[in-house]
């Protein structure tokens, strides 16, 4: 089996960058990315590359190289499926907001719709690749839908979980630690191995059975999130004992058995994967009656929720136990730097807690739109959209955000925040000028010298 045409369903944070890099590295393969969201496809096709719907360093260059050559973006889902020999499913799989497993299990309705659409549109045999983050055994469900169409078309199902991290997606795709492919049909697995082998050294392409591949994805994210929650738990202890969490992280990270990555204490992890994947793990463990396993992993999320609340509580307590009517400026809204993605961002929950204390909030983020900030707050449902717009404003200039602010809270670790004229910022603020650094980004000694009241996590 030699793949000549790839279709990817879903032009989001995973599908967009991943398929762009496959097209860049495999000029002989035609890659068509389809989505039902017309606005999103139009943005991917925009001649102005700053309008791409996903902000990711290096992505615009890759799209510029391949788009129109062998990379296409379209809303014609059926035609792209019918033409392809390999179909990637890269649609969103949010946590269920209704019914059984509400708040825990993955909502697979988009996946099922995709499977039914693939079944209906296919006239020739195809390899189906699950790329979305899915709970274990989703491949089974896909198989069942696809194999019961009665159309006589054969489908081989592969699991190829995504390990790219947003903000470094292009780097991660160009030079991955490993590519993981799970599947039962050796020829189908080989066909996908051959695609990646165009640029990834063969020894870094791992093949496993379907379930190991699916479970590995959840496990990798659970381990990473656990490291963040572990160091965040220690950060609270540091604040009480006089230890410094950065010093502790350095001291333990130099132990080669522990390693130095993912030990940065923060206001809490966010992103579309960590919480969702752990919830999937917890749900599946519970569904097999493994209560201790479920409880063990659930604590990672409990700790993360605690860290976000603790950050908001500390702001209120430090500001004389009231933020009512005070203006608090948020630097950053994205869940991490170098992305415009805000899913599960700690900023949303910190804002919600402060708004409940009647603070007014001004947000500045280099890449997140006002529309997105309001959509995130509206989605919580704590307040009406009108109230959110009255209490929260979004500005395009960080110095405007600081104007008459009682406090600044750093929620995302954008590099540009370090380069600001902090002297000028202080002049514009109410006094005492508080800074709450949820990312340990700024120089505490410099801000102290300038006369700020500076508080950082874990110090």
Active-site positions read 273
> Is 336 assigned to a binding site?
yes
Pairing outcome for strands 126-130 and 155-159:
parallel
Q: How many angstroms separate the CA atoms of 7 and 29, rounded?
A: 10
What's the burial of 47, exposed, middle or buried (CB within 10 Å: 0-12/13-18/19+)?
Answer: exposed
Residue with the two structure tokens 């889902």: 77
- Distance CA(204)–CA(213), nearest Å, equals 14
Which residues between 321 and 340 bind ligand UDX (CB under 6 A)?
335-336
Q: List the x/- string, 192-221, binding to ligand UDX by CB under 6 A.
A: -----------------------------x
Q: Is residue 106 part of the contact set for ligand UDX (CB under 6 A)?
A: no
Does 342 interact with ligand UDX (rule: CB under 6 A)? no
CA dist 256 → 80, 120, 220 (Å) = 48, 52, 19
The answer to whether 12 is a known ligand-binding residue is yes
The DSSP symbol for 23 reads H
Question: Least distance from C-beta 116 to ligand UDX, angstroms?
Answer: 27
For tokens 């944070």, the residue is 13
SS3 assignment, position 250: helix
Q: Which stretch binds ligand UDX (CB under 6 A): 21-29, 42-50, 259-267, 384-392?
A: 259-267
**Residue closest to ligand ADP (Cβ):** 12
Stretch that binds ligand UDX, among 96-104, 161-169, 317-325, 384-392 (CB under 6 A): 161-169
With binding defined as CB under 6 A, does residue 9 bind ligand ADP? yes
By DSSP bridging, strand 86-89 and strand 5-9 are parallel
> What burial class does residue 386 get, using C-beta atoms within 10 Å of its C-beta: 0-12 exposed, 13-18 middle, 19+ buried?
exposed
Integer CA distances (angstroms), 215 to 228, 273, 275, 281, in order = 20, 14, 15, 8
Site string for ligand UDX, 273-312 (x = CB under 6 A): xx--------------------------------------
Token digits of residue 204: 């870094």
* Residue 271 interacts with ligand UDX (CB under 6 A): yes or no: yes
Quick check: helix, strand or coil at residue 125?
Answer: coil
The residue count for binding ligand ADP (CB under 6 A) is 21
What does the angle CA 110 – CA 113 – CA 117 come to, to the nearest 5 degrees? 140
Whichever of 278 and 429 has its CB closer to ligand UDX, that residue is 278
The site for ligand UDX, by CB under 6 A, has a size of 19
Q: CB-wise, 54 or 139, nearer to ligand UDX?
A: 54
The answer to the question of whether 110 is labelled as a binding residue is no
- Based on its alpha-carbon atoms, the radius of gyration of the chain, rounded to whole angstroms, reads 23
Helix, strand and coil content of the chain, in percent to the nearest 5, comes to: 45, 15, 40
Q: Residue 16 CB, nearest distance to ligand ADP (Å)? A: 7
Residues 6+ apart with CB under 8 A from 49: 60, 63, 64
Indicate which single residue of 6, 7, 8, 11 sits in contact with ligand ADP (rule: CB under 6 A).
Answer: 11
Binding residues among 256-315 for ligand ADP as defined by CB under 6 A: 272
36 is a contact residue toward ligand ADP (CB under 6 A): yes
Cα–Cα distance between 142 and 243 in angstroms, integer? 51
Q: Per rule CB under 6 A, is residue 398 in the interface with ligand UDX?
A: no
Using alpha carbons, select from 24, 344, 360, 358 the residue that is nearest to residue 174.
24
Among 71, 91, 248, 411, binds ligand ADP (CB under 6 A): 91
Cα–Cα distance between 343 and 383 in angstroms, integer? 19
Stretch that binds ligand ADP, among 85-93, 213-221, 381-389, 422-430 (CB under 6 A): 85-93
The structure tokens listed for 169 are: 């997606």
CB closer to ligand UDX out of 43 and 165? 165
Q: Is the dihedral of CA 365, 371, 372, 374 positive or negative?
A: positive
Work out whether 376 is an interface residue with ligand UDX (CB under 6 A): no
Q: Identify what 113 binds: ligand ADP, ligand UDX, none; CB under 5 to 8 Å per kind.
A: ligand ADP
Instruction: List interacting residues with ligand UDX (CB under 6 A).
Output: 162-166, 221, 224, 228, 262-264, 266, 269-271, 273-274, 335-336
Instruction: List interacting residues with ligand ADP (CB under 6 A).
Output: 9-15, 34-37, 40, 77, 90-92, 110, 113-114, 132, 272
- Known binding positions: 10-15, 35, 40, 91-95, 132-133, 162-166, 217-221, 257, 264-270, 273-276, 335-336, 343, 439
- Known binding positions for NAD(+): 10-15, 35, 40, 91-95, 132-133, 166, 273-276, 343
- Known binding positions for substrate: 162-166, 217-221, 257, 264-270, 335-336, 439
């Amino acid at each position: 089996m030699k793949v000549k045409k790839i279709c990817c369903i879903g032009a989001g944070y995973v599908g967009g960058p991943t398929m762009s890099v496959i097209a860049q590295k495999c000029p002989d393969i035609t890659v068509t990315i389809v989505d039902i969201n017309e606005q999103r496809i139009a943005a991917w096709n925009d001649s102005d590359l700053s309008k791409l719907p996903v902000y990711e360093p290096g992505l615009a260059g890759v799209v510029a190289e391949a788009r129109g050559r062998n990379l296409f973006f379209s809303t014609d889902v059926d035609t792209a499926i019918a033409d392809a020999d390999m179909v990637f499913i890269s649609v969103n799989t949010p946590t269920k907001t209704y019914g059984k497993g509400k708040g825990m299990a993955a909502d697979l309705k988009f996946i099922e719709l995709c499977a039914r659409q693939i079944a209906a549109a296919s006239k020739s045999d195809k390899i189906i690749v699950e790329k979305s983050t899915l709970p274990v055994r989703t491949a089974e469900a896909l198989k069942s839908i696809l194999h019961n169409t009665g159309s006589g078309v054969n489908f081989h199902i592969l699991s190829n979980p995504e390990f790219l991290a947003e903000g470094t997606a292009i780097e991660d795709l160009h030079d991955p630690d490993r590519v993981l492919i799970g599947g039962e049909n050796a020829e189908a697995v080989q066909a996908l191995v051959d695609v990646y082998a165009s640029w990834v050294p063969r020894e870094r392409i791992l093949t496993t059975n379907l379930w190991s591949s699916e479970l590995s994805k959840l496990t990798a994210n659970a381990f990473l999130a656990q490291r963040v929650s572990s160091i965040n738990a220690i950060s609270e202890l540091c604040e009480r004992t006089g230890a410094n969490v950065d010093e502790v992280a350095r001291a333990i990270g130099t132990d080669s058995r522990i390693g130095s990555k993912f030990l940065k204490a923060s206001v809490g992890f966010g992103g579309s994967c960590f919480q969702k994947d752990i919830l999937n793990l917890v749900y599946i463990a519970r569904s097999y009656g493994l209560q201790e396993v479920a409880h063990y992993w659930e604590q990672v999320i409990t700790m993360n929720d605690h860290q976000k609340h603790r950050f908001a509580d500390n702001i209120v307590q430090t500001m004389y136990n009231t933020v009512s009517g005070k203006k608090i400026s948020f630097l950053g809204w994205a869940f991490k730097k170098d992305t415009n993605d805000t899913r599960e961002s700690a900023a949303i929950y910190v804002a919600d807690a402060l708004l409940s204390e009647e603070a007014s909030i001004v947000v500045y983020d280099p890449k997140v739109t006002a529309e997105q900030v309001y959509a995130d707050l509206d989605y919580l449902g704590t307040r009406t959209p009108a109230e959110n717009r009255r209490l929260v404003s979004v500005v395009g200039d960080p110095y405007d955000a600081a104007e008459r602010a009682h406090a600044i809270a750093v929620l995302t670790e954008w590099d540009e925040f370090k380069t600001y004229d902090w002297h000028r910022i202080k002049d514009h603020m109410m006094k005492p000028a508080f800074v709450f650094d949820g990312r340990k980004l700024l120089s505490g000694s410099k801000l102290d010298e300038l006369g700020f009241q500076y508080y950082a996590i874990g110090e």
